[in-house]
Amino acid sequence: MTRTAIPVTHQADSDIAPVREMVSACMQCGTCSASCPNAEAMDMTPRRMWRLTLLGQQDKVFDSTTFWMCSNCYSCSLRCPRGLPLTRAMNALKRIAAQHGDKGLARKGAFYHTFMDNVRRHGRVQETELMQRWMMTMKSPALALQFAPLGLKLMGKGKVHLTAPASSQEGRLEPLFQKAAEMEGRHE
- The pLDDT tens digits for 64-83 are 889 988 988 999 999 999 99
CB contact at 8 A, 35 and 79: yes
Question: Pick the residue with more confidence: 5 or 37?
Answer: 37
| pLDDT score recorded for residue 6 | 46
Ramachandran sector of residue 151 (left: φ over 0; alpha: ψ -120 to 50; beta: rest): alpha
pLDDT at 114 over 90: no
- For the chain, what is the mean pLDDT? 83
- Compute the average pLDDT of residues 24-41: 95
List, for residues 85-113, the tens digit of each pLDDT value. 999 999 999 888 877 765 566 666 788 78
* pLDDT value, residue 80: 97
Q: Provide the domain count of the chain.
A: 2
Pair (124, 88) in one structural domain: no
Structure confidence by residue, pLDDT tens digits, 154-174: 889 988 877 776 777 777 888
The residue range of the domain holding 80 is 10-100
CA-CA distance, 137 to 141, in Å (whole number)? Answer: 11
CATH number at residue 41: 1.10.1060.10
* DSSP letter (8 states) at residue 68: G
Whole-number Å distance between alpha carbons of 82 and 54 = 16
- Asked if residue 3 is part of any domain, the answer here is no
Question: Are 20 and 93 members of one domain?
Answer: yes
Residues 50, 20: contact at Cβ < 8 Å?
Answer: no
- Say whether both 64 and 117 belong to one domain: no
124 and 137 together in one domain:
yes
pLDDT for position 22: 95
State residue 2's pLDDT score.
Answer: 42
In a domain, 39, yes or no: yes
Residue 2 maps to a domain: no
Alpha-helix runs per DSSP H in the chain? 10-22, 31-35, 46-54, 58-63, 75-79, 86-100, 103-122, 127-138, 141-156, 174-183
